[in-house]
A and B are shown apart, each in its own frame.
Chain A
Amino acid sequence: MSATVLSAGIAGSRSRAAPAWPVGWIAAVAWFGIAALIMVWPDADDLGRTPLLAAVATGFGGVILLLALLSTSPRLAPRLEPFRAAGPWLLVLALALGAWELVTAKLDLLPRPFFVAPQSLLEVFTDDWPRLSDSVWNSLLLVLPGYALGAAIGFLFGIAMGWSRLVGYWAHPVVRLIGPLPATAWLPIAFFAFSSSHGASTFLIALASFFPVTVLTWSGVSSVSKAYYDVARTMGASPWFLVRKVAVPAAMPSVFVGLFMGLGASFSVLVVAEMMGVKSGLGWYMQWAQGWAAYANMYAALLVMALMCSGAVTLLFYLRDRLLSWQKGLVRW
């Protein structure tokens, strides 16, 4: 991304004229065309929200048209660069929506109810959004505290294992034996041991993030170059200083790998826990929708879940980029 921004900046400084954006214009036209198709071509079956879908497509086209208009201005063009870069995507998304609309709503080529029309998906969001957003909220309320708890304990435990020979000696075999066990294997025990399904799920989610964070913090701390400690020691550093200001920062890249792995594991436990026992959240919503053969609702929940997980990962990437900006060549998300 930064490379394209840079080259745009250079190009901009050379010539004042804004570069043309043909893809943008075409994408805008495509969205308008799809909107017309949705509106004009009658649905094969009685579906709700067809006009709304057409309106949404028109809105998309309008926004893209506006962006295309604005980017003819040399002053605004550099700022709109991210949209310009997304041009091919904007176009392909319009075409994909058109194809999807054709094979489902218009021509009814795919078996229902398993395959749903775009407007049906839209209908879920317009009509069932209170329950959907409630599910998101409940899922977040379950996964975030559990993840944070597991990651925090894992981080401290990993440092203790890497730093103290004694802790390492006793903890290593246990972590080695128990750690690779998927957290979901504890499900029966957890639901038995905890009085509430919420407590049991939090425990399992914490367990799922605990293990990778522990192991990667531990390996990060134990692979810190001895030379760094030597430097600090010759300058009068206390052991506490060595832990806080040498071991921890040096291990941070590895810790983040653990945090990413833990996040994935936590989400998978979340979904399983919500499908098995917890009576709320996106996993529960999906299970419930599937039970009623309400596939549109299921897909909507799946989409929301993808956005939620992706958002969480993006947040973690952002945090990492802030904290580890000293590293060169970080992977961009």
Chain B
Amino acid sequence: MVNGARLEVRGVSHAFTLEKRLLPVLEAIDFTAEPGEFVALLGPSGCGKSTLLRLAAGLEPPTTGQLLVDGAEISGTDPSRTIMFQDPTLFPWRTVRGNAQLGPEARGTLRADAGRIDEVLSLVGLASFADALPHQLSGGMAQRAALARALVNQPRLLMLDEPLGKLDSLTRLAMQKELVALWEREGFTALLVTHDVEEALLLADRVLVLSDRPARIRADIRVGQPRPRRRDDPGLVALREEILGLLGMAEAA
């Protein structure tokens, strides 16, 4: 059990230069994720969700504004803030285990973390595929391997960029349960990017609904329902309608 990090995002705006034109991606994003909180980011494709995670991971500095972890400004990457990328980006020359042990290896804690690596691999159901190479995995297995690689680091802030995007619906349900159990057990602060309104509502304490690019926070919705949650819970159904309305999809639902 780790104590989750507190992430403060203060007035963050970010822009890319794309073909010599400035492309604003994030606009005045302001929120705080409390220690141990599970926050979901929901928004249309290309609005800037992945970019926000990259900023919080410290891979890039924001154009304006500040990001703070436990009150200290983020100035670079740190293993306590791990990100599971949208694309699994497993190292093709390493086995599943080799990929999972990347963090400990980079920090020189391989021996101390050996048990943790095995534990995490069986947690994501890949214990029997520990020696498989990435090109021998299915899309969903690759995503689970990437999840294992992130979890090994015992992050205090875990950022998940559509972690269940490539899974079939049954595995997806199982993995959603696993994620919540994991979060409850390990106590990290979670930032989950998803396209799936239902998934956000099932998992998160709070759902931030983002607008089209440049992304602004359109709504900050607290999901009060106790866990384990049921998707047909009337409270959740109502929230779902509300969010779909915000995303301009009310009739389609």
Contacts and interface: CB of A to CB of B under 8 A. Distances in A.
Interface of A: 225, 227-228, 230-238, 241, 245-246, 249-250, 252, 324, 326-328
A225 B59 contact: no
Contacts of A238: 106
B59 A234 contact: yes
Interface stretch (B74-82, B166-174, B219-227): B74-82
Contacts of A326: 92-94, 133-135
Given A236-B78, A249-B93, A326-B93, A231 B106 contact: no
Nearest to B104: A235
Interface string B88-113: 01011110000000110111000000
B247 to A, nearest CB: 28
B73 interface: no
Given A235-B82, A238-B106, A326-B92, 15 more contacts: A227-B85, A228-B89, A230-B59, A230-B89, A231-B89, A234-B57, A234-B77, A235-B103, A235-B106, A236-B77, A236-B79, A237-B102, A245-B105, A245-B106, A326-B135
Contacts of B85: 227, 230-231
B57 to A, nearest CB: 5
Contacts, number: 66
B87 to A, nearest CB: 7
Nearest to A327: B92
Interface of B: 54, 57-59, 77-79, 81-83, 85, 87, 89, 91-94, 102-103, 105-107, 133-135, 149, 153
A294 B149 CA distance: 67
B107 A249 contact: no
A224 B99 CA distance: 17
* Interface hub of A228, A232, A234, A241 (most chain B Cβ within 10 A): A234
A41 to B, nearest CB: 58
A237 B106 contact: yes
15 contacts: A227-B85, A228-B89, A233-B59, A234-B77, A234-B82, A234-B83, A235-B103, A236-B103, A236-B107, A237-B102, A241-B105, A252-B93, A326-B92, A326-B134, A327-B92
Contacts of A241: 105-106
A42 B56 CA distance: 89
Contacts of A324: 93
A326 B91 CA distance: 10
B106 A236 contact: yes
A117 to B, nearest CB: 53
* Interface hub of A225, A245, A252 (most chain B Cβ within 10 A): A245
Nearest to B134: A326
Contacts of B78: 236
B93 A232 contact: no
Contacts of A246: 91
A235 B107 CA distance: 8
A230 B102 CA distance: 12
A230 B87 CA distance: 12
A324 B91 CA distance: 13
A237 B107 CA distance: 7
A328 B93 CA distance: 11
B91 A233 contact: no
Contact of B87 (A227, A234, A245, A328): A227
Nearest to A248: B93
A-B pairs, 3 with minimum CB distance: A235-B103, A237-B106, A236-B79
Contact of B77 (A233, A249, A250, A252): A233
Contact of B102 (A227, A231, A252): A231
Contacts of A227: 85, 87, 89
A241 B110 CA distance: 14
Contacts of A250: 91, 93
